[in-house]
Amino acid sequence: SEPVTLPAGAVLFEEGAIGHSAYLILSGRIAIFQRRDGGESVLGRRGAGELFGEMAILDALPRSAGVRAEEDCVLVPVGAAQIRQRLAGADPILRLCLEGLIARFRETLPRLGPAVAGSRPAALSPAARADFDATVAALAQERALRRALAQDEFALFLQPIVRLATGRLAGFEALIRWHDPERGLVPPAAFIPAAEASGLIVAITAWVIGEIGRIVPPILQAGLQAPASVETSLFVSFNVTAQDLARSDIPGLIDAMLRRTGIAPGALKLEITESTLMQDPAGAAAALARCRAAGLGIAVDDFGTGYSSLSHLSALPITTLKVDRAFVRAMLAEPRDRRIVQTILRLAEEIGVAAVAEGIEGRAEAEALAAMGCALGQGYHFGRPMPQADALAAAAA
Ligand code: C2E
Ligand code: CA
Ligand code: CA
Ligand code: CA
């Protein structure tokens, strides 16, 4: 997409041509025109900072009008493949809106001229049909999630996190569950992506923070009185997304919750996935720094899967790396995965943060990780995510 220059008076493309790119105008001015009955009419003009020529790319139909430079222009082409790649990755609801808008625009064309009018296909393409179906499903899912929030159908389960060297309970990770009256217990993988796409995640996370304030005090209390198998100062970690950090005042919500409940900030840890952090490291940094300054721990979740740059990592106020389950699961069979785990543990040590290995399903992994110096472990071997009452019993046992 090198900028191209178009001298005043030159025609860039004619009506009816196949579109290969849209154009951004860096400088100059273009006219959009149609020739009819020997005459020519100008339909519109575009100047610096505007885009033109996108329609034929979006609906893959011939150009509905020609374009000529009215002044010397510098244009940046945006190739069809570049646009279609973005469209393919876009939310289907957004795509459907765009398709509707283009169809509506094409319908106005008969009044403008015969050349392109009626070239809209009669039947919906399979892709448009799929977008339509996906939109119907997404809206139903969103309605169900709103109802779930209103009717308090969510619950936080707690999964034990154990100190590998001693086998003592060190804390819990809070993991959300949805008690859907129709479907029963729904795991987060089935609704968190939809919550993120619809923006409902922000309300869900606000609910999580409130619920943390309710369930954590009795757990910390139990830890204080617990026998030798449990550490005295337990912690509870919970998950937040990039959208939460960007769109809502997470530090403010947490701060209000801490004041209301008297929970010691050091007993809480924020978990944020590595891939999320890398989407917008600068945006996440400010919110994380405020949470860290308030005394919370900051854990990078699913570490090893998100292509972190180390310079970004070192700029963030991280206290914990969570080694992704994929490496832990494979480490006994695959020397390569074992070396990745070892490397992550060494990195954690170098930058002075704690490491938690996730997804420990057997005693062999637990022992290998302990021998490799991994401080904390989490997985079905130690316990599955459990309702609050069971976690309370575990903390008191
Ligand atoms: P995650 O944060 O990586 O959480 C760990 C997931 O691994 C949990 O799945 C947990 O049940 C599962 N797990 C733990 N130990 C083992 C094991 O030994 N073997 C296997 N196979 N799995 C194990 P879960 O609870 O289904 O959560 C899935 C993901 O959903 C979480 O991954 C997290 O990204 C997201 N999530 C869960 N709760 C919340 C929440 O409150 N807010 C947000 N934003 N995301 C959440
Ligand atoms: Ca997590
Ligand atoms: Ca994880
Ligand atoms: Ca995960």
Provide CB contacts within 8 A for 147, sequence distance 6+: 153
Q: 269: closest CA among 305, 303, 242, 296?
A: 296
Among 153, 198, 211, 239, which residue has the most ligand 1 atoms within 8 Å of its CB, making it the best to mutate? 239
- CATH, domain range 4-112: 2.60.120.10
> Which residue lies with its CA nearest to atom 22 of ligand 1?
359
Q: What is the pLDDT along the chain (397 residues), one digit of tens a residue?
A: 688 999 999 999 999 999 999 999 999 999 999 998 889 999 999 999 989 999 889 888 889 899 999 999 999 999 898 888 888 888 889 988 998 888 888 787 765 555 444 444 556 677 777 887 888 888 888 999 999 999 999 999 999 999 999 999 999 999 999 999 989 999 999 999 999 988 999 999 999 999 999 999 999 999 888 888 889 899 999 999 988 998 889 999 999 999 999 999 999 999 999 888 887 777 788 999 999 999 999 999 999 887 766 777 778 899 999 999 999 999 999 999 999 999 999 999 998 999 999 999 999 999 999 999 999 999 999 999 999 999 999 998 8
Helix, strand counts (H, E) of the chain: 15, 17
Cβ–ligand 1 distance for 171 under 6 Å, the answer: no
Q: Provide ipTM, 2 decimals.
A: 0.97
What's the CA dihedral at 158, 164, 166, 170 to 10 degrees? -30
117: DSSP letter:
T
Q: Is 73 helix (H, G, I), strand (E, B) or coil?
A: strand
Q: Given the CA of residue 385, which atom of ligand 1 is nearest to it?
A: 11
Q: 215: closest CA among 168, 257, 244?
A: 257
Cβ–ligand 1 distance for 105 under 6 Å, the answer: no
pTM to 2 decimal places: 0.83
- CATH, domain range 153-396: 3.20.20.450
The secondary element (H helix, E strand) that includes residue 105 is helix 92-112
Provide CB contacts within 8 A for 304, sequence distance 6+: 274, 323, 324, 326, 327, 340, 344
Q: Where are the domains of the chain?
A: 4-112, 153-396
Tokens in use for 61? 């139909």
The secondary element (H helix, E strand) that includes residue 6 is strand 4-6
Cβ–ligand 1 distance for 241 under 6 Å, the answer: yes
247 CA to middle of ligand 4, Å? 22
Cβ–ligand 1 distance for 243 under 6 Å, the answer: no
Cβ–ligand 1 distance for 211 under 6 Å, the answer: no
